[in-house]
Amino acid sequence: MSKHELELLREMVRIRRFEEKCAQLYSSSQIRGFLHLYIGEEAIAAGAMATLGPQDAVVSTYREHGHALARGVPMDAVMAEMFGRVTGCSRGRGGSMHLFDVERRFYGGNAIVGGGLPLAVGLGLADAMNERNRVTACFFGDGAMAEGEFHESLNLAALWRLPVLFCCENNMYAMGTALSQEHAATDLALRASSYGMPAWAVDGMDVTKVEDAVRRAVDTITGGHGPCFLELKTFRFRAHSMYDPDRYGHKEEIEDWRRYDPIPALVERMRAAGTLPDGEPDAMIAEVDAELDKAIKSAAAAPEEPVDDLTRFVYSEPS
């Protein structure tokens, strides 16, 4: 178990360091556009992706860097996308909110709140019609549960017993709106269960609890019992986006949640169990930083897409 815990810890460290570096690059104008950071929520991506197999599909939201990295999208391809370079996973056309990698069945981020939910239902329907025993995991925030797509998607998935795992990353704020000011009923798992599917809340700050919950859900879905819903309770330590002045936040609330930071929490558990090797996580951080430096240099040196290619993938060529 200790080796697996080390892998989970390393994945969370990779995501955290990547996001921190992106914040620096954005502040120096090397990254432009919108940037939504995943700092504080790393346990969800690391725990979920450790359970999903390569045959499964992942549909993400606009806060998806962590999902992409944990899914196996190369860091240099993600960083190049941040820089808007042709070597990016979306050829530099998508940027932070539109990462995509068909080889790894990572069907992208989506800038529209709740926009990935119908896509996940479509992927699940295709698998059901073709009798493929695999799962589509769809990630979205608590704000998406106020959108019509959420209710339409859960209704159809339950009605048709589709193999879809709905993962709500409930970070308590939809942009700047607190959960209690957005939803009349704040028990999100209970709301999802009203559509006739298994639904339960999970400590989204504990990577092993996330992994266990996703495994249980996947086993339920692949056993032919239809979709499942997980309310992954978490918290982001940064504002909604780098554009956000963060005037709605309460410093006391942030500091309270920092006590549950998933990275030091796992480090402490491993130390207490005697399963953390000497020199860790410092050696791990140094290794990740070297990977990051390499990815940044590669992205900065990569070309932008030629102007002549601007209509490529936009219009179909006549046959």
Q: How many domains does the chain have?
A: 1
Mean pLDDT of 207-214: 98
Residue 309 lies in a domain: no
The number of angstroms, rounded, from the C-alpha of 145 to the middle of its chain's C-alpha atoms is 16
* CA-closest candidate to residue 83, choices 30, 147, 151: 30
49: in domain: yes
Structural domain contains residue 276:
no
Residue predicted with more confidence, 318 or 237: 237
Q: Count Cα neighbours of 73 within 13 Å in the Cβ-side half-sphere.
A: 28
In-domain check, residue 311: no
The larger pLDDT score, comparing residue 32 to residue 19, is at: 19
Q: Tens digits of per-residue pLDDT, 114-135? A: 999 999 999 999 999 999 999 9
H helix runs in 30-115, sequence order = 42-49, 65-71, 75-82
**Is residue 318 in some structural domain?**
no
Would you say residue 242 lies in a domain? yes
Alpha helices in the chain (DSSP H): 2-27, 42-49, 65-71, 75-82, 116-129, 148-159, 179-182, 188-193, 207-220, 251-258, 262-273, 282-301
pTM passes above 0.75: yes
Provide the sign of the torsion angle of the four alpha carbons 217, 202, 59, 99, taken in this order: negative
Q: Does any domain span residue 291?
A: yes
Write the CATH number for 286.
3.40.50.970
CB atoms within 10 A of CB 8: 23
The tokens describing 199, both together, are 């639904």
Q: Tell me the pLDDT tens digit for each residue of 27-67.
A: 999 998 889 999 999 999 999 999 999 999 999 999 999 99
Does residue 319 lie within any of the structural domains? no
**Residue 89: domain span:** 2-269+282-303
